[in-house]
Structure 1
Amino acid sequence: MQVSQTAQRAPEGAVLLRSDAGGVATLTLNRPQARNALSEALIDALARELDAIADDRTVKAVIVTGAPGPCFSSGHDLKEITARRSDPDRGRAYFEDLLGRCSAMMQQIVRLPQPVIAAVESLATAAGCQLVASCDLAVAGEEARFCTPGVHIGLFCSTPMVALSRNLARKHAMEMLLTGETIPAADALRMGLVNRVVPAGHALDGAKRFAATIASKAAPVLAIGKRAFYEQLEMGLTDAYAHASRVMTENMLARDAEEGIGAFLEKRQPRWE
């Protein structure tokens, strides 16, 4: 496997690892001793790497996974949060800043030109579950589990709610948020939180298969489609159709659409720009 320069430079103890191969960047949450919790450092590292990937035309798809251990990610680092309760404002400014940075990072995933795939083998809880829901696609090993358990500790999972409510049916999202119960991979598939469930230990392989399929397509077309998908979701039906029609008209005029349609009619493989 060809390893990216980012991964080669990663210092020992780095909270995020990156490796690139075949047009796919794999980002690995690397805090297994802390259940891959989304610390300040890890949130910032993800934000920086997503920024770099957004401008990297060699990357066609992204996989987000966790270092092996009991958790894909346990959500926010509660030790960091608790330490700031002694601030003069009881941590208000810190909490606002932390949640703002985390929310911005989740939105980076949605706005990234490249599709992002979560590969989950273990427990994804709270903001870790939010991270899975924020990705465009998700593959789970059959032993993976998911929950938004804030209600158990007096803290409703309000920011994870944003991603869940945009991926799951309303009653499924409310069930997870109100009960805090842990759901198995099979239920996550039924509810629409993940796309595929694969044998335990093969989530990353499944995500790589998704990524390879995506990487074979015209990257500018995928970027156009991903952006339009999320934009139209926020619109009423009439506005959504009008917006999608404008996007598709511009896409029709693009070189890749002309090449793709021509290749189909000529019964040959397209040569993407």
Structure 2
Amino acid sequence: CMHDVGKPIIAMVNGHALAGGLGLMVACDLVIAADTATFGTTEIAVGLWPMMITAEITRNIGRKRTLEMMLTGRRYSAAEALAMGLVNQVVPAAELEATTTKLAGELADKSPAAVALGLRAFYGSADMELAPALRYLQGELGKVLALEDAAEGISAFLQKRKPVWKGR
């Protein structure tokens, strides 16, 4: 599963994200799209249903939007995809690669150990009821506080310097 990688995965969408391509996109952690990109689950037009991507899309945009998308087979613009929560950001096509690369650089500056633990906790708690999720996240908080990177980050903040991550 892509959620088990331990590093943030950014989808950079330039063109069409349709059917299985849309499923791959929504499995990513973050999505940057060109303003010319289109999105949709077009399987219904050929008598199919997007079974293997249904759960992931529903988790991203909710039941009503997912059903609308899957029942109509309609293609959505980048602006519509942003409004429904399918993508994080829409930029002019000419700026897509630079914007995505900049975001990747911002993420790369963070503690790899804290990011990995955070992603695991985020996805691990996503389907839990509130009380069990809070108990689970409390345990994960203890793990992140015990990281060498947490101590380094706090020291760097207090010393007004950039942290040097060890990934532990």
What range is the shorter-chain TM-score in?
Answer: over 0.9
Root-mean-square deviation over aligned CA pairs: 1.1
Q: Please list every run of 5 or more consecutive structure 1 residues that lacks an aligned counterpart in the other structure.
A: 1-106
Matched, 1:135 2:28: yes
CA distance in 2, matches of 1:171, 1:206: 31
Q: Which residue of 1 aligns with 2:109?
A: 216
Aligned counterpart for 2:6 among listed residues 105, 110, 113 = 113
Q: Using the TM superposition, give the Cα deviation of residue 265 of structure 1 relative to its aligned residue in structure 2, in angstroms.
A: 2.1
- Which amino acid counterpart does residue 41 of structure 2 have in structure 1? T
Q: Where is the helix percentage greater, Structure 1 or Structure 2?
A: 2
| Larger-gyration structure (1/2) | 1
Matched, 1:126 2:19: yes
Does the CA contact (< 8 Å) of 2:19 and 2:43 recur in 1?
A: yes
Q: Which residue of 2 aligns with 1:200?
A: 93
Q: Which residue of 1 aligns with 2:37?
A: 144
Does the CA contact (< 8 Å) of 1:120 and 1:204 recur in 2?
A: no
Q: Which residue of 2 aligns with 1:155?
A: 48
Q: Which residue of 1 aligns with 2:144?
A: 251
User: Per the alignment, in what secondary structure is the counterpart of residue 160 of structure 2?
Assistant: coil
CA distance in 2, matches of 1:223, 1:231: 12
Aligned counterpart for 1:239 among listed residues 132, 138, 153 = 132
User: Per the alignment, in what secondary structure is the counterpart of residue 136 of structure 2?
Assistant: helix
Q: Using the TM superposition, give the Cα deviation of residue 209 of structure 1 relative to its aligned residue in structure 2, in angstroms.
A: 1.2
CA distance in 1, matches of 2:68, 2:97: 28
Matched, 1:226 2:113: no
Q: What are the residue-to-residue correspondences of 1:146-185 with 2, within 5 Å?
A: 146-185=39-78
CA distance in 2, matches of 1:133, 1:157: 13
Q: Which residue of 2 aligns with 1:63?
A: none
CA distance in 1, matches of 2:98, 2:80: 21
Does the CA contact (< 8 Å) of 1:145 and 1:185 recur in 2?
A: yes
Q: Using the TM superposition, give the Cα deviation of residue 267 of structure 1 relative to its aligned residue in structure 2, in angstroms.
A: 2.1
CA distance in 1, matches of 2:86, 2:98: 19
CA distance in 1, matches of 2:89, 2:58: 19
- Which amino acid counterpart does residue 259 of structure 1 have in structure 2? E
CA distance in 1, matches of 2:8, 2:59: 17
Q: Please list every run of 5 or more consecutive structure 2 residues that lacks an aligned counterpart in the other structure.
A: none
- Which amino acid counterpart does residue 82 of structure 2 have in structure 1? L
Does the CA contact (< 8 Å) of 2:15 and 2:36 recur in 1?
A: yes
TM-score of the two chains, using structure 2 as the length reference: 0.95
CA distance in 1, matches of 2:79, 2:10: 18
TM-score of the two chains, using structure 1 as the length reference: 0.59
Larger RCO, structure (CA 8 Å, separation 6 or more) = 2
CA deviation digits over 1:76-134, x for unaligned, max 9? xxxxxxxxxxxxxxxxxxxxxxxxxxxxxxx2x21111110011110111000001100
- Which amino acid counterpart does residue 150 of structure 2 have in structure 1? A
